[in-house]
Amino acid sequence: MTNGYKTQIGLETPALRALGSGFAWGTATSAYQIEGATLEDGRGDSIWDAFARQDGKVLNGDSGRHACDHYNRWEEDLGLIKSLGVDAYRFSIAWPRVQPLGLGALNQKGLDFYDRLVDGMLARGLQPHATLYHWDLPQHLQEKGGWGVRETAEHFAVYAEAMGHLLGDRLTSLATHNEPWCAATLGHATGKFAPGFKDPQLAAQVSHHLLLSHGLALKAMRAAGVRVPMGIVLNQSSVSAASDSPADIAKARTEYCSFVRWYMDPIFRGEYPQDPGIAHYPVVQSGDMELIQAPLDFLGVNYYTRIWASASKPETPAPKLLGESDMGWEIYPDGLRALLIDINSEYALPPIYITENGMACADVVQDGSVHDQQRIDYVRMHLASVAKAREAGVDVRGYFYWSLMDNFEWEAGYSKRFGLIHVNYENQKRTLKDSAHWYRNTIAKHKEATRSGEHA
Ligand code: IFM
């Protein structure tokens, strides 16, 4: 089955051409997952540091304390990124590194780090794409109520403006948030992520404050004259009902509302979706939706798998015809095409970047190599889906593989490997996996195909 599918949608020249000549190729990471050096140079404590210190929250008691030591090895890492032949690198700024308490004084050494990093990218011809918030809230703000209180959104806007001033002239894009659904739902409803609450009403309020902070940040940065293209990164999935039964279809609709529309509707329509299956709505103050609905220069879409909606007990399992990743997530590349076409027809969208897509595999180094054919197949099939979406008229401008290198996978610690580059956490040795070589070749083939192609 897998091989048949592979052959059918292999990334051939027409697909490469369909991506267009200006298509940006990149890889992505986030601060807490790779930087380490959590106690160095005046960085403040984050909610993930605090969460990881609690027993049983992160597998094996892992934390981001050392991670990939990118804070100290950033030059080597930029060299590796460059060696992949990519155009762009997506990274996030650790708020507690640049403003240890989340309010008040900035930390010069933290600012200097991102200054150097961005200059280092530019010196190597890499486009810097920054994200302001990838879940590492300063712990001090958590102690004042975290994203459960409106003040945090206001503090975020101050931090955003400071970062806009510092880096705005050199960035290719600036995203306010990465995957607010995860920060809100996993952090405050299921308790799987920091800060670890299990309160769905709080999670709904948090989601609103995250969106509000996005709107306030855009307003503050634009008012201050920051000119970089600004957007937000949302995790999204296509949703499949397990059957045609009304119960499964209703469940699929609720899932789509709570996962995709919950963030898309406020941003692009100025309202939350109404669905009988959604029990918790936030308190919204007058003027909030206007702020949240501020025009965007781009939308980042992170896609890994589809949502399978089954209302029966026990649930009908997803067929997983193409298998699953080491996370247990179904491999379902066509969902990316379907999702992009759906959202493109439902909303008036700015240009889209696939800001994350990737696969965790149980990679091992053998004689200096990592043979991760499954990851290569995964990426090829998803790129083919992006090409199809473009052919159907969706304005997708780039693709960032998640992740550049193996890293701290949140509650799973270091047990899951998403990287194009293998990291040995004992000695921090980096090893390019077969997928990294394949990615480089594919990028080169794309550039060649679009140089001469009439669709370019
Ligand atoms: O590692 C995460 C990342 O931080 C956000 N998006 C999903 C990835 C894989 O789980």
Cα(448) to centroid of ligand 1, in Å?
A: 31
Ligand 1 pocket test, candidate residues 48, 68, 418, most atoms within 8 A of CB:
418
The answer to whether residue 7 sits within a structural domain is no
Cα(169) to centroid of ligand 1, in Å?
A: 28
The answer to whether residue 446 sits within a structural domain is yes
Q: Count of domains in the chain?
A: 1
Predicted confidence at residue 453, as pLDDT, reads 52
Q: Which atom of ligand 1 is nearest to the CA of 358?
A: 9
The answer to whether residue 238 sits within a structural domain is yes
Protein residue whose Cα sits closest to atom 2 of ligand 1 = 409
Ligand 1 pocket test, candidate residues 27, 356, 400, 408, most atoms within 8 A of CB:
356
Active-site residue identified among 179, 255, 409, 411: 179
Domain with 401 in it? 13-455
Predicted confidence at residue 93, as pLDDT, reads 99
Protein residue whose Cα sits closest to atom 9 of ligand 1 = 409
Protein residue whose Cα sits closest to atom 10 of ligand 1 = 409
The answer to whether residue 120 sits within a structural domain is yes
What's the CATH number where 142 sits?
A: 3.20.20.80
Active-site residue identified among 161, 356, 409, 411: 356
Ligand 1 pocket test, candidate residues 58, 62, 410, 415, most atoms within 8 A of CB:
410
Predicted confidence at residue 11, as pLDDT, reads 81
The answer to whether residue 142 sits within a structural domain is yes
The answer to whether residue 304 sits within a structural domain is yes
Q: Which atom of ligand 1 is nearest to the CA of 134?
A: 4
pLDDT tens column, 24-79: 999 999 999 999 999 999 999 999 999 999 999 999 999 999 999 999 999 999 99
Q: Which residues of the chain have pLDDT under 70?
A: 1-10, 452-456
Q: Which residues line ligand 1 (CB under 6 A)?
A: 30, 33, 179, 302, 356, 402, 409, 418
User: What is the SS3 string spanning the chain?
Assistant: CHHHHHHHCCCCHHHHHHCCCCCEEEEECCHHHHCCCCCCCCCCCEHHHHHHHCCCCCHHHCCCCCCCCHHHHHHHHHHHHHHCCCCEEEEECCHHHHCCCCCCCCCHHHHHHHHHHHHHHHHCCCEEEEEEECCCCEHHHHHCCHHHCHHHHHHHHHHHHHHHHHHCCCCCEEEEEECHHHHHHHHHCCCCCCCCCCCHHHHHHHHHHHHHHHHHHHHHHHHCCCCCCEEEEEECCCEEECCCCHHHHHHHHHHHHHHHHHHHHHHHHCCCCCCCCCCCCCCCCCCHHHHHCCCCCEEEEECCCCEEECCCCCCCCCCCCCCECCCCCECCCHHHHHHHHHHHHHCCCCCEEEEECCCCECCCCECCECCCHHHHHHHHHHHHHHHHHHHCCCCEEEEEEECCECCCCHHHCCCCECCCEEEECCCCEEEECHHHHHHHHHHHHHHHHHHHCCCC
Does residue 330 carry a catalytic annotation? Answer: no
Cα(453) to centroid of ligand 1, in Å?
A: 35
Predicted confidence at residue 41, as pLDDT, reads 98
Does residue 161 carry a catalytic annotation? Answer: no
The answer to whether residue 439 sits within a structural domain is yes
Q: Which atom of ligand 1 is nearest to the CA of 327?
A: 10
The answer to whether residue 80 sits within a structural domain is yes
pLDDT tens column, 162-216: 999 999 999 999 999 999 999 999 999 999 999 999 999 999 999 999 999 999 9
Name the pTM for this structure. 0.97
